[in-house]
């Protein structure tokens, strides 16, 4: 068996091929596939996220459509080799349109017994399992809770198992570099990335250039990682273990410029784009919380856009500082997850009352309480809609995909300044960390965001409203002649002076409610995927379930079912035509990762006998689950 | 224009609604008196408050104002001051608002040295909720919520501010108008965050809490006015002084062999001395005046400098480059 990295000649000969040139000599048979789901799993220190992200970059260059899902352990450094410490990254790449990270992996890369054990039940029969054979020691098996070695006890017989000595092969490839064992072992992820890249004809260029950038300052580590990737790649080609490789031809993708984007990064970019469009500085007041912190990290790097990031002492200070910034004329934003939403409620109510623009991003995670911080759920909907004391309505938007987070963040700022109101954007941990190719928007086509501070003292009153939007004028301190006071106490129509008049209070409550309800006027008519004229069943959904629902509906339709899909971006106000649209269907099923929150709303709002499809396992819907649920619903 | 302003320019058209005789009136009057003297344009002045009797303050000032929610005024003011360093932002809070529900925000605003002027009206009681003990009420305080006396050990606001490394810490008394005006001026002139504890009499629920400091015959013996570079002398005959014995302060009588040069000389820039003074307890007199000052740069200046530096180093942000830069690919 020729080992990788042995001679310069061999390395030269094994230069990675780009998929655009599939005709290059290939010793082994090549099998065509239309879709592959790969999952990397290992200890949280094994670099599985990086391997997964690089395979994603390679697949994007290969022209596939794709979706990803990282799965982080809740503990930062759980004991090595235990189930609690397993970190995973799943990538679905395809020649067709991709909506989800995939139900069942076709390939599992398991760096140790715990990683195998935590993931093996998700695999379909015949799946490829690549394990680091050396990690299957007695102590590791015990730590993972195996009583016998799965590599020898035939429990894996229904899979194609490939045992690779990843550690030894990586060591061999790096032996001339004189690195310590620790550094060498840290390159194992690049070895398996190289191997999987070979197996699926992925172009290595994105990974090589990424490594060059990442280790710009350390020639040694750069060389080590580059060698490890190439070694893995060459090993695939040279070894007898793999009899064939697979090709996944490019997908037909809408023309445009693309980049991969996670939901959190898309939120950050959407906020910056909106602030630039509005011509105002952006102020983020935030407190670190999983899974929202990356928005804070991203924005902290955009200071040259006039972005202030303020890491506050707590969630409450984060939102209040954002309100203070909005009072001064900035685009005030706070980002958080469920527990932080609880804490911010009072301040959000203040922003509703004083009618200042504010954007609150809730990256939902599984609750209640601390719950499962790294896992997705959609159970904050009713809190977003109603979780404040008093009558305190505000617009609520939910992003459907990682790229859609850009649009929603942008739209939230637009609505906030147009209607002078706080706006909640719901994302979740699936969108936050999941990535997909994003067709970049043409900047000229982004909706304009107009901010005009009132400066004319003539006839000014703090609550004199715009006739159309009912928004009050935004006047910022520093404007001569317009000095005024706002506050949380009930205030008089027009003047804003403190008022305890019962009728005035009701008037103001009703005006604010009308202002928010009126946003429905500018919402596009509801689009129905499937049968716009009506049919047997419509699935109503919102947020990150988009991909799974759309794929399931597609499959059911291919099997002849009259099923449609309506996906909501605006949860408040709801689109004006939604009730009428839903009534065109014999059955309405509301699919969501909670126990029926949108369901309650729809039943209350439209008196429709809708029913739910619900899951609260800290996991997204599987397409297969939804397809089965559709079949049952149609019986 | 700023130079021509008078007290009247800072008086709003809203009827003042504190209880008759409340110490808040005196503070309001002094603030309205001295603000025009600072020469700041009225539109550049913002008063931000939380919840409590004192927090009604912004309604009575004809400046920009924001009456917010309980305890959060320093946080709201932080967002404003950071993005609008051109504004003069005053925070009005109380012992409940600032030290109980909002204690976290207060200490962090002071620690960060946000350039806010924070007035903490300390009346050692909850007034607006009708008379419960507060975090500055003395142990044993009998109130509606502590019929057998409070067992809570109180905060010392000056020590809290010093402990949070506030860059300007002082104490004033509501009815000591001239001294209060002087403290407000010092706070205004201080570039970083300023903390002013103001002893304020709540004549309804805690009348006379500071009577030794305000009653004419008593106050000279109980009040110690701090002046930078001057020895600590007090007493109606100015015959008592404070001297350090190790780290322990003690009272000496000047006539009895002790002379001025034995006395402790106040140094506003000495944090250790600030702590010693903050912890004066009977029989020591109660210090008023400036306990501590340092000139470290305010948070907002540093943060805005970072933004400027980022623009210099990377150029003013270009949205197209931001979105289209990096790892993109083109599908045609
Ligand atoms: S209750 Fe006390 S503090 Fe409040 S307004 Fe009346 S006297 Fe002043």
Alpha-carbon span B327 to B317, nearest angstrom = 18
**Radius of gyration over every alpha carbon of chain B, rounded to an integer in angstroms:** 23
The nearest CA of chain A is from the CA of B249 a distance in Å of: 36
Query: Which pLDDT score, from 0 to 100, does residue B3 have?
Result: 52
Q: Is A112's pLDDT higher than 90?
A: yes
- Span from the CA of B122 to the centroid of ligand 1 (angstroms): 11
**Stretch A208-236: mean pLDDT:** 94
Which atom of ligand 1 lies nearest, measured to the CA of B205? 2
Q: From B13, which residue of chain A is nearest by alpha-carbon distance?
A: A497
Residues in A closer than 8 angstroms to B300, CB to CB, are: none
Helix or strand or coil: residue B161? Answer: helix
Inter-chain residue contact B79 with A325, CB threshold 8 Å: yes
Best mutation target, A62, A265, A276, A321, to test chain B (most B CBs within 10 A): A321
Inter-chain residue contact B87 with A329, CB threshold 8 Å: no
In chain A, the domains with their CATH numbers are 30-247 (3.40.920.10), 259-445 (3.40.50.970), 452-522 (no CATH), 537-634 (3.40.50.920)
Token pair, residue A179, equals 């690195």
Nearest alpha-carbon partner for B70 in B55, B58, B91, B80: B55
| Interchain contact A498–B (C-beta under 8 A) | yes
Residues in B closer than 8 angstroms to A325, CB to CB, are: 79-80, 82-83
**Stretch A345-362: mean pLDDT:** 98
Contacts of B212 (CB under 8 A, 6+ apart): B218, B219, B221, B222, B286
Segment among A12-26, A323-337, B94-108, B247-261 with least mean pLDDT: A12-26
Residues in A closer than 8 angstroms to B332, CB to CB, are: 255
Residues in A closer than 8 angstroms to B12, CB to CB, are: 485
Alpha-carbon separation of residue A443 from A254, B47, B146, B320, B324 (angstroms): 18, 40, 63, 7, 10
Inter-chain residue contact B317 with A306, CB threshold 8 Å: yes
Please state at what angle helix A623-634 crosses helix A546-558, rounded to 10 degrees: 50
Q: What does residue A325 show for φ and ψ, rounded to 5 degrees? A: -65, -40
The nearest CA of chain A is from the CA of B69 a distance in Å of: 7
Judge whether A575 and A559 are in contact, CB under 8 Å.
no
Residues in B closer than 8 angstroms to A211, CB to CB, are: none
Of A57-71, B115-129, B245-259, which has the strongest mean pLDDT? B115-129
Task: Name the band, by pLDDT with cuts 50, 70 and 90, for residue B49.
Answer: very high
Nearest alpha-carbon partner for A91 in A236, A207, A226, A193: A193
- Span from the CA of B214 to the centroid of ligand 1 (angstroms): 17
B1-45 pLDDT, tens digit per residue, is: 445 899 999 999 999 999 999 999 999 999 999 999 999 999 999
Query: Which pLDDT score, from 0 to 100, does residue A66 have?
Result: 93
Q: Is A429's pLDDT higher than 70?
A: yes
Alpha-carbon span A361 to A267, nearest angstrom = 8
Q: Is B61's pLDDT higher than 70?
A: yes
Query: Which pLDDT score, from 0 to 100, does residue A12 have?
Result: 32
Please state at what angle helix A315-327 crosses helix B103-112, rounded to 10 degrees: 70
Q: Is A2's pLDDT higher than 90?
A: no
Tell me whether the omega of the peptide bond preceding residue B291 falls within 30 degrees of 0, making it cis.
no
Alpha-carbon span A388 to A12, nearest angstrom = 65
| Interchain contact A262–B (C-beta under 8 A) | no
Task: Name the band, by pLDDT with cuts 50, 70 and 90, for residue A17.
Answer: very low
ipTM: 0.98
Which atom of ligand 1 lies nearest, measured to the CA of B23? 8
Residues in B closer than 8 angstroms to A57, CB to CB, are: 327
Alpha-carbon span A514 to A545, nearest angstrom = 30
Query: Which pLDDT score, from 0 to 100, does residue A26 have?
Result: 56
Q: Is A3's pLDDT higher than 60?
A: no
Contacts of A23 (CB under 8 A, 6+ apart): none
Whole-number percent of chain B with pLDDT over 70: 99
Alpha-carbon separation of residue A203 from A19, A59, A142, A342, A477 (angstroms): 6, 8, 38, 46, 56
Q: Is A587's pLDDT higher than 70?
A: yes
- Span from the CA of B277 to the centroid of ligand 1 (angstroms): 29
**Nearest Cβ partner for B324 among A312, A350, A440:** A440
Q: Is A158's pLDDT higher than 70?
A: yes
Token pair, residue B80, equals 């404003």
Inter-chain residue contact B306 with A303, CB threshold 8 Å: yes
Q: Ligand 1: which residues within 6 Å by Cβ?
A: B 18-19, 22, 24, 53, 123, 127, 202-205
Inter-chain residue contact A276 with B317, CB threshold 8 Å: yes
| Interchain contact A310–B (C-beta under 8 A) | yes
* Sign of the C-alpha dihedral computed for residues B314, B319, B322 and B324 taken in this order: negative
**Stretch B143-151: mean pLDDT:** 96
- Span from the CA of B191 to the centroid of ligand 1 (angstroms): 32
Establish, for the pair of chains A and B, how many residue pairs have beta carbons separated by less than 8 Å.
Answer: 198
Alpha-carbon span A417 to A333, nearest angstrom = 12
**Nearest Cβ partner for B323 among A329, A440, A497:** A440
Which atom of ligand 1 lies nearest, measured to the CA of B123? 3
Residue A231: is it exposed, middle or buried by C-beta count within 10 angstroms (0-12/13-18/19+)? buried
Inter-chain residue contact A259 with B328, CB threshold 8 Å: yes
Q: Is A20's pLDDT higher than 50?
A: no
Which atom of ligand 1 lies nearest, measured to the CA of B24? 8
Give the ranges where B215-318 is alpha helix by DSSP (H).
216-222, 271-278, 299-314
pTM above 0.90, yes or no: yes
Query: Which pLDDT score, from 0 to 100, does residue A33 have?
Result: 94
- Mean pLDDT of all residues in chain A? 93
Inter-chain residue contact B66 with A486, CB threshold 8 Å: yes
């Amino acid at each position: 068996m020729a080992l990788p990295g042995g001679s310069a000649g061999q390395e030269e000969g094994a230069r990675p091929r780009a998929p655009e040139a599939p005709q290059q000599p290939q010793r082994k048979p090549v099998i065509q596939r239309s879709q592959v789901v790969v999952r990397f799993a290992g200890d949280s220190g094994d670099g599985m996220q990086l391997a997964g992200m690089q395979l994603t970059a390679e697949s994007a260059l290969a022209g596939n459509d794709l979706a990803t899902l990282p799965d982080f352990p809740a503990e930062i450094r759980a004991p090595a080799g235990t189930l609690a410490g397993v970190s995973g990254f799943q990538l679905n790449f395809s020649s067709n349109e991709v909506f989800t990270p995939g139900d069942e992996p076709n390939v599992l890369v398991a760096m140790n017994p715990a990683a195998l054990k935590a993931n093996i039940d998700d695999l379909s029969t015949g799946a490829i399992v690549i394990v680091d054979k050396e990690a299957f020691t007695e102590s590791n098996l015990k730590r993972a809770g195996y009583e016998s070695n799965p590599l020898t006890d035939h429990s894996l017989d229904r899979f194609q198992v490939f045992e690779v000595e990843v550690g030894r092969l990586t060591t061999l490839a790096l032996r001339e570099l004189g690195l310590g064992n620790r550094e060498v072992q840290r390159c194992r992820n690049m070895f398996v990335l190289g191997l999987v890249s070979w197996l699926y004809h992925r172009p290595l260029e994105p990974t090589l250039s990424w490594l060059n950038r990442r280790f710009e300052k350390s020639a040694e580590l750069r060389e080590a990682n580059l060698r490890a990737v190439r070694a893995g790649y060459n090993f695939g080609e040279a070894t007898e273990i793999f009899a064939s490789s697979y090709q996944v031809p490019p997908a037909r993708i809408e023309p445009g410029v693309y980049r991969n984007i996670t939901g959190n990064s898309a939120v950050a970019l959407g906020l910056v784009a909106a602030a630039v469009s509005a011509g105002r500085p952006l102020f983020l007041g935030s407190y670190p919380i999983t899974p929202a912190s990356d928005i804070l990290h991203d924005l902290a790097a955009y200071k040259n856009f006039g972005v202030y990031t303020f890491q506050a002492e707590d969630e409450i200070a984060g939102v209040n500082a954002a309100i203070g910034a909005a009072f001064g004329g900035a685009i005030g934003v706070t980002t958080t997850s469920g527990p932080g939403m609880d804490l911010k409620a009072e301040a959000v109510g203040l922003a509703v009352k004083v009618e200042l623009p504010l954007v609150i991003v809730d990256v939902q995670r599984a609750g209640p309480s601390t719950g499962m911080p790294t896992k997705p759920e959609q159970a904050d909907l009713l809190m977003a809609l109603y979780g404040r004391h008093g009558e305190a309505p505000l617009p609520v938007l939910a992003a459907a995909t990682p790229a859609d987070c850009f649009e929603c963040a942008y739209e939230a700022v637009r609505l906030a300044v147009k209607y002078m109101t706080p706006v909640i954007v719901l994302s979740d941990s699936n969108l936050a960390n999941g990535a997909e190719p994003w067709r970049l928007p043409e900047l000229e086509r982004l909706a304009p965001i107009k901010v005009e501070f009132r400066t004319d003292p003539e006839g000014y009153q703090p609550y004199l409203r715009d006739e159309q939007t009912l928004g009050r004028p935004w006047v910022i301190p520093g404007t001569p002649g317009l000095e005024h006071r706002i506050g949380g106490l009930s205030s008089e129509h027009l003047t804003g002076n403190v008022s305890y008049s019962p009728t005035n209070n009701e008037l103001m409550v009703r005006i604010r409610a009308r202002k928010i309800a009126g946003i429905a006027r500018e919402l596009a008519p509801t689009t129905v995927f499937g049968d716009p004229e009506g049919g047997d069943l419509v699935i109503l959904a919102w947020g990150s379930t988009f991909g799974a629902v759309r794929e399931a509906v597609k499959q059911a339709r291919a099997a002849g079912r009259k099923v449609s899909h309506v996906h909501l971006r605006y949860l408040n106000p709801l689109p004006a035509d939604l009730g009428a649209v839903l009534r065109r269907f014999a059955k309405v099923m509301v699919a969501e990762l909670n126990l029926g929150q949108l369901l309650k709303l729809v039943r209350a709002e439209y008196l429709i006998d809708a029913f739910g499809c619900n899951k609260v396992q800290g996991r997204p819907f599987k397409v297969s689950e939804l397809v089965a649920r559709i079949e049952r619903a149609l019986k | 224009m700023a130079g021509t302003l008078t007290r009247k320019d800072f008086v709003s058209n809203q009827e003042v609604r504190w209880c008759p005789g409340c110490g808040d009136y005196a503070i309001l009057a002094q603030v309205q008196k001295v603000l025009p003297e600072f020469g700041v344009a009225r539109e550049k002045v913002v008063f931000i408050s939380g919840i409590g009797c004192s927090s009604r303050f912004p309604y009575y000032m004809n400046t920009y104002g924001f009456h917010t929610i309980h305890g959060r005024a320093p946080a709201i003011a932080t967002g404003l001051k950071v993005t609008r360093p051109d504004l003069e932002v005053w925070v009005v809070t109380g012992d409940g608002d600032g030290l109980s529900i909002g204690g976290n925000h207060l200490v962090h605003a002071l620690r960060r040295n946000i350039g806010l002027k924070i007035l903490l009206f300390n009346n050692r009681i909850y007034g607006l909720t009708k008379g419960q003990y507060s975090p500055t009420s003395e142990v044993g305080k009998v109130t509606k919520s502590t019929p057998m006396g409070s067992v809570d050990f109180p905060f010392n606001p000056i020590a809290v501010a010093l402990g949070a490394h506030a860059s300007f810490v002082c104490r004033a008394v509501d009815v000591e108008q001239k001294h209060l005006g002087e403290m407000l001026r010092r706070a205004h002139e201080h570039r970083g965050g300023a903390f002013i504890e103001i002893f304020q009499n709540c004549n309804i629920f805690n009348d006379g809490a500071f009577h030794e400091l305000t009653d004419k015959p008593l106050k000279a013996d109980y009040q110690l006015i701090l002046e930078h570079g001057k020895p600590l002398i007090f007493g109606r005959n100015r015959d008592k002084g404070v001297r350090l014995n190790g780290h322990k302060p003690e009272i000496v009588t000047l006539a009895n062999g002790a002379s001025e040069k034995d006395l402790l000389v106040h140094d506003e820039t000495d944090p250790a001395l600030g702590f010693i003074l903050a912890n004066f307890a009977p029989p020591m007199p109660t210090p008023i005046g400036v306990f501590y000052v340092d000139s470290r740069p305010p948070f907002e200046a540093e943060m805005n400098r970072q933004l400027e530096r980022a623009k210099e180093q990377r150029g003013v942000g270009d949205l197209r480059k931001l979105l289209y830069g990096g790892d993109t690919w083109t599908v045609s």
